[in-house]
Amino acid sequence: MSKTVRTRFAPSPTGYLHVGGARTALFNWLYARQHGGQFILRVEDTDAARNTDEARDAIFSGLKWLGMEWDEGPDTGGNFGPYDQSKRTAIYDEYFQKLVDSNRVYENDGAWWFRFDRKPITMHDLVCGEVTIDYTDESNTPDMVVKRSDGSYVFHFVNVVDDLTMGMTHVFRGEDHLMNTPKHLQLFEAFGVEPPVYGHIPLILNPDGSKMSKRDEGAAVDSYPELGYIPEAVVNFLALLGWSPKDDSEIFSTKELVDKFTLDGVNRSPAKFDSEKCAWVNQQHLLKLSPTEFASAAQALTEKAGLPMTSQWPEIAASVQEKVKLLSEVPTQIAFFFNPDFPLDPDALAKVAKNTSAAQLLSALAEGFKTITEWSGDTAKAMIGETAKAHGAKPGQLMFPTRVALSGLSGGPDLGAILNILGRKEAIRRLTKCVDAL
């Protein structure tokens, strides 16, 4: 009978949740969910000088925003805790003693060194394939400190003890850890236990090929809500950083990702972060939302921009659903609905003014609007074409001036939607105002 899959994410709370860390967490989470296993959150908080509660909260909230709930962790508990390394010293002492008893460590200058077994170590990586490090020559592979002279334990030791005692079956982490793994395999062997299966995933680089740092665009997961992304879109984009399905499809719900994710789809070459691609993926997810879901998603940023939530809000939001890539673009695109004294874009107005008949056409349209018996976006929009035809012009010659007159902008929602939302009286007032400006 096969083991229940157990994967983990083990961040250090020294800063916000980095996009690289979120992608690592995602691959572990997807694998666990696909195999009906458990995903564990473990906090590597032994660096007391750099750890902060704010960073811890940012990591936890970032994972939750992305929808990556964990089955065991510091706040949820579980049978293999504590899940904070700072609370596991007694466990580390116990396993260090095992190394002492088996003569696998020795003291030198107050520090304790792990005695490597002098032989080749081969690991069978699920992504990178077979990798061998030859420990025969001590000059190339010196023994490793596991306990510092101040009594604290090093990363390699506590990482292995945690994975061992928490029953990890699979560890997916960045390729920068690849050369650490043979050291870890030696420790597992020294403890006489089977190690987890490892998979080292490609690093995330900037578009120019440089390594992505904490200061680079898109690095901080906690910036994504404010930028106007929705969680499922970011999860989709993160998955594409280093993984691809067997076909050309790119847009997936989180459930679809769980179903489709396979390790043979993980690429060996580094992934390049592309903010435009990220925004495009977000746009595709916004288009999939129902109008009600879109209005709900856009509400927080719209209110933050100071725009009121009126009874027309769902209709107003729906008018720009197909126009935006990010929810943060919504307030700018709909502000004219709420501001009767909205400014006319100078460039757009100048373009209208080049059409010498624009003022006459807009005045005629205002009169035409008064004759509509049953006002709607469709009937009002139809009047634009009728008015243009009656004055020997093409509908397009009146469409653009009408848009500028109603919104002050050269682009935006469909004219029918604008007219339906504004209503007859306000539409006529805005047309007249633009004529006066011309």
Give residues with Cβ within 8 angstroms of 398, minimum separation 6. 361, 362, 365, 384, 385, 387, 388
- Measure the CA–CA gap between 299 and 99, rounded to whole angstroms: 58
- Count of C-beta atoms within a 10 Å radius of residue 407: 24
- Measure the CA–CA gap between 133 and 119, rounded to whole angstroms: 9
* Secondary structure string (H, E, C) spanning 236-291: HHHHHCCECCCCCCCCCCHHHHHHHCCHHHECCCCEECCHHHHHHHHHHHHHHCCH
Q: Helix-strand-coil percent breakdown of the chain, rounded to 5?
A: 50, 15, 35
The angle at the Cα of 430, spanning 428 to 434, to the nearest 5 degrees, equals: 120
Residues identified as active-site: 214
Q: What is the dihedral of CA 187, 190, 195, 199, to 10 degrees?
A: 30
CA within 13 Å, CB half, 313: 17
Please state, in angstroms and as integers, the Cα–Cα distance from residue 308 to each residue in 78, 295, 320, 414, 429, following that order.
45, 13, 16, 21, 22
Contact between 80 and 168 (Cβ < 8 Å) = no
DSSP string, 205-227: E-TTSPBP-TTSTT-BGGGHHHH
Residue whose tokens read 């050369």: 179
Please state, in angstroms and as integers, the Cα–Cα distance from residue 393 to each residue in 53, 181, 356, 361, following that order.
66, 74, 12, 9
Contact between 126 and 199 (Cβ < 8 Å) = yes
**DSSP secondary-structure letter at 138?**
T
- Measure the CA–CA gap between 171 and 10, rounded to whole angstroms: 10
Nearest to 27 by CA among 180, 155, 200: 200
